[in-house]
A and B are shown apart, each in its own frame.
Chain A
Amino acid sequence: MSQPSLERYTLMQLMELDACTRCGECVEWCPTFTEKRERDAITPLRKIETVRGFVRKQYGLLARLFGPRAIDDEKMKEHSGGTYDCTLCGRCGTVCPVHIDTRSLWIAMRESLVDQNVYPETFDHLRETVTTRYNISGDVNDDRLIWSENLPEIPEGVAGKEQAEVVYFVGCVASFYPRSYSVPQSMVEIFDQAGVDFLTLGGEEWCCGFPLVIAGMGDAAIEVMRHNLEALRRTGAKRLVAACPSCYHTWKHDYPRILGESLDVEVLHATEMLEEIVVEGGIELKPFKRPVTYHDPCDLGRTSGVYEAPRNLIRAIPEIIFEEMEHNREHSLCCGGGGDVEMADKDLTAAVAGRRVEEAAATEAKVILSACQQCERTLAEAARKARIRVRAMDVAELIARQMVR
Chain B
Amino acid sequence: MTIEAAETIFWVVHLPLMGFFLIGMVMVLSIWFKGGDRRSLGDMGQGSVAARVGLWIKAFVTEAWFNRRLWRTNFWRWLNHFLLLTGFMLLMTLSGISALSDKVLLHFFPLEHVAWITMWVTPDHPITGLLNEVGGVMMTVGFLFFLIRRYVSPPSQLRTGPMDTWMIIGLGVILLSGWVAEVVRLNSSHVGPTAYVAFVGYPLSLLFRGLPLPWDSLQAWMYVIHGLLTSIVIVTIPFSKFMHVIAGALVTMVREIEEEAGEHTGLQKGAARVTA
The answer to the question of A234 belonging to the interface, with a C-beta cut-off of 8 Å to chain B, is: no
A81 to B63, CA, bound (A): 33
Q: Is A95's CB under 8 angstroms from B69's CB?
A: yes
Q: Which residues of B contact A104 (CB under 8 A)?
A: 268-272
Given contacts A10-B36, A219-B274, contact A23 B268 (CB under 8 A): no
Q: Which residues of B contact A253 (CB under 8 A)?
A: 267, 269-270
Q: Which residues of A contact B189 (CB under 8 A)?
A: none
29 pairs, CB–CB < 8 Å, chain A vs chain B? A6-B35, A10-B273, A12-B37, A13-B35, A14-B31, A15-B251, A18-B32, A18-B243, A23-B77, A24-B159, A25-B77, A28-B155, A40-B159, A59-B34, A60-B31, A94-B266, A97-B70, A97-B248, A98-B244, A98-B251, A98-B252, A99-B256, A107-B271, A213-B274, A257-B275, A258-B276, A302-B267, A303-B268, A305-B267
In the complex, chain B residues 230-265 whose Cβ is within 8 Å of any chain A Cβ: 239, 241, 243-244, 246-248, 250-252, 254-256, 264-265
Given contacts A97-B81, A304-B267, contact A20 B272 (CB under 8 A): no
Given contacts A11-B33, A27-B157, A99-B63, contact A16 B272 (CB under 8 A): no
Say which residue of A16, A22, A218, A226 sits within 8 Å of B271 (CB atoms).
A218
A53 to B244, CA, bound (A): 15
Q: Which residues of A contact B38 (CB under 8 A)?
A: 10-11
Given contacts A104-B268, A107-B272, A258-B276, contact A25 B157 (CB under 8 A): yes
Q: Is A59's CB under 8 angstroms from B252's CB?
A: no
The answer to the question of A103 belonging to the interface, with a C-beta cut-off of 8 Å to chain B, is: yes
| CB-CB nearest in chain B for A302 | B268
Residue among B73, B81, B155 with the highest chain A CB neighbour number at 10 A = B73
Q: Is A97's CB under 8 angstroms from B24's CB?
A: no
Interface class of chain A by DSSP: helix
A interface, CB within 8 angstroms of B: 6-16, 18-28, 40, 45-46, 49, 55, 59-61, 64, 90, 93-104, 107-108, 111, 213-214, 216, 218-219, 221-222, 225-226, 249, 253-254, 257-260, 302-305, 330
**Contact-residue bracket for chain B:** 35 or more
Q: Which residues of A contact B77 (CB under 8 A)?
A: 23, 25, 97
Q: Is A111's CB under 8 angstroms from B251's CB?
A: no
Of all A-B residue pairs in the complex, the 8 with the closest CB atoms, nearest first, are A218-B274, A27-B157, A24-B157, A103-B268, A18-B247, A108-B272, A99-B255, A19-B247
B166: min CB distance to chain A, Å: 12
B interface, CB within 8 angstroms of A: 23-24, 27-28, 30-39, 63, 67, 69-70, 73-74, 77, 81, 155-159, 161, 163-164, 239, 241, 243-244, 246-248, 250-252, 254-256, 264-276
Q: Which residues of A contact B239 (CB under 8 A)?
A: 60-61
Say which residue of A13, A24, A99 sits within 8 Å of B252 (CB atoms).
A99
When A and B form their complex, what is the total count of cross-chain residue pairs whose Cβ atoms lie within 8 Å? 186
Given contacts A11-B38, A15-B250, A19-B250, contact A221 B244 (CB under 8 A): no
Given contacts A24-B159, A97-B69, contact A111 B273 (CB under 8 A): yes
Given contacts A15-B247, A18-B247, contact A10 B274 (CB under 8 A): no
A225 to B270, CA, bound (A): 15
Q: Which residues of B contact A111 (CB under 8 A)?
A: 271-274
| CB-CB nearest in chain B for A111 | B271
Q: Which residues of B contact A46 (CB under 8 A)?
A: 159
B145: min CB distance to chain A, Å: 13
Say which residue of A7, A12, A213, A303 sits within 8 Å of B254 (CB atoms).
A12
A21 to B64, CA, bound (A): 13
| CB-CB nearest in chain A for B34 | A6
Q: Is B27's CB under 8 angstroms from A60's CB?
A: yes
Q: Which residues of B contact A214 (CB under 8 A)?
A: 270-271
A102 to B248, CA, bound (A): 14
Say which residue of B35, B70, B256, B275 sits within 8 Å of A12 (CB atoms).
B35
Q: Is A108's CB under 8 angstroms from B271's CB?
A: yes
Q: Which residues of B contact A20 (CB under 8 A)?
A: 244, 248
| CB-CB nearest in chain A for B71 | A97
| CB-CB nearest in chain B for A25 | B73
Q: Which residues of A contact B63 (CB under 8 A)?
A: 99
| CB-CB nearest in chain B for A98 | B248
Q: Is B271's CB under 8 angstroms from A216's CB?
A: yes
Q: Is A13's CB under 8 angstroms from B272's CB?
A: yes
Q: Which residues of B contact A305 (CB under 8 A)?
A: 265-267
Q: Which residues of B contact A59 (CB under 8 A)?
A: 30-31, 34
B169: min CB distance to chain A, Å: 15
A25 to B272, CA, bound (A): 24
| CB-CB nearest in chain B for A222 | B276
A258 to B276, CA, bound (A): 6
Say which residue of A11, A96, A258 sits within 8 Å of B32 (CB atoms).
A11
A254 to B24, CA, bound (A): 36
Q: Which residues of B contact A254 (CB under 8 A)?
A: 269-271
| CB-CB nearest in chain B for A28 | B157
Q: Which residues of B contact A96 (CB under 8 A)?
A: 69
Q: Which residues of A contact B34 (CB under 8 A)?
A: 6-7, 14, 59
A253 to B156, CA, bound (A): 36
